[in-house]
Amino acid sequence: MNRIGAALLAAALPLLGGCLSFSLEGSRDNLPRALLQIHKLEAGRTTLREALEKLGPPDVLLRVHELDRLYYVSWDSLHFKFSISAPIPIPGRSASTDAFILGVGSEEFRLARLEFDRKGILRYIQTGDFSSTTHGEYFAIDNRIVETFLEDRARALGMLPQDDDDDDLDAPPKK
Amino acid sequence: MRNVIALAAALSVLNGCYVSKKKDDRPWAAEIVARIEVGKTTKADVLRLLGPPKQIIRLLESEAYMYIAPVEKNSGLVLLVLNLSRSDRQYDAVTVIINRQDVVTAVGSRFSADEAEYGPPWD
């Protein structure tokens, strides 16, 4: 009986291949090397030239009001997903449904933001390590730095107009 | 007979195996970037040495020429219902800051594209 069961299971596995799926996905973007050098910089003293020499080229660079803003980022993630998909029997159409059963994972996002004044002197440094939960929420006490980064990156890529920042021209720089 | 079975098993496993590499632009030699001198090299020199930048960003008192050449390595294994995949993206990049007099005032470079690796997802 056991043999028959094992044979049936072995025969069924290839058939399930198309609709049952366990996936483990790892992803890495950039090394955090520059972020490890941040402690060598000093607000009010370090120049843009020194920062580039010590940290290398930034990942995002843009002008925001009266400051030049630089970002250094690195990303590392690992996700496990278990999902089932099944065909939907609609006559004359090809359709399927996906049932997402389980998803767990971890993400580590490291970011540093440097802001330089018109004279090229470092005015602000902000760094953060952000780990995400399985629900995709950041464990940061204040995640505005991540939100600002995402907005700035979109702006640097030309996805948002530069004028967006004009709304808060009088506001102090975001921290 | 055993060898045939082993070969068939290996073939069925490798059937769902892939590696790929995506490379953007041409990389620049570190020696060429080292020729850029702050206070001496001009915008024309930079363009001659590195070619046109991927992005030019206007800053408060200068402009930044961004040179970026990413390398992305993807690898994966599909075993019936189990999918393992990994992607690693690293960059060669140079940023040159040029003032209004067309002279280089700062330069930063990083050469880590070669450090992109194939491997298991958890690596």
Interface of B with A in 3-32 (CB under 8 A): none
**What's the confidence (pLDDT) of residue A169?**
39
**What's the confidence (pLDDT) of residue A174?**
46
Count of all residues that appear for chain B in the document: 123
Local confidence band at A166 (pLDDT 50, 70, 90 cut-offs): very low
Q: pLDDT by residue (tens digit) across B6-65?
A: 777 766 666 688 899 999 877 788 999 999 999 999 999 999 999 999 999 999 999 999
Q: Is the pLDDT of residue A136 over 80?
A: no
Burial of A37 (0-12, 13-18, 19+ CB in 10 A): middle
Is domain B16-115 annotated with CATH 3.30.1450? yes
Q: pLDDT by residue (tens digit) across A80-89?
A: 888 887 777 7
Mutation target vs B (from A61, A82, A116; most B CBs, 10 A cutoff): A61
Q: pLDDT by residue (tens digit) across B80-120?
A: 788 899 999 999 999 999 999 999 999 999 999 999 999 99
Mutation target vs B (from A63, A81, A153, A155; most B CBs, 10 A cutoff): A63
Chain A residues within 8 A of B66 when measuring between CB atoms: 57, 61
CB B113 within 8 A of CB B119: no
Q: pLDDT by residue (tens digit) across A89-98?
A: 777 777 767 7
Residue B73's nearest CA partner among B85, B60, B63 is B85
Domain ranges of chain A: 22-159
Local confidence band at A11 (pLDDT 50, 70, 90 cut-offs): low
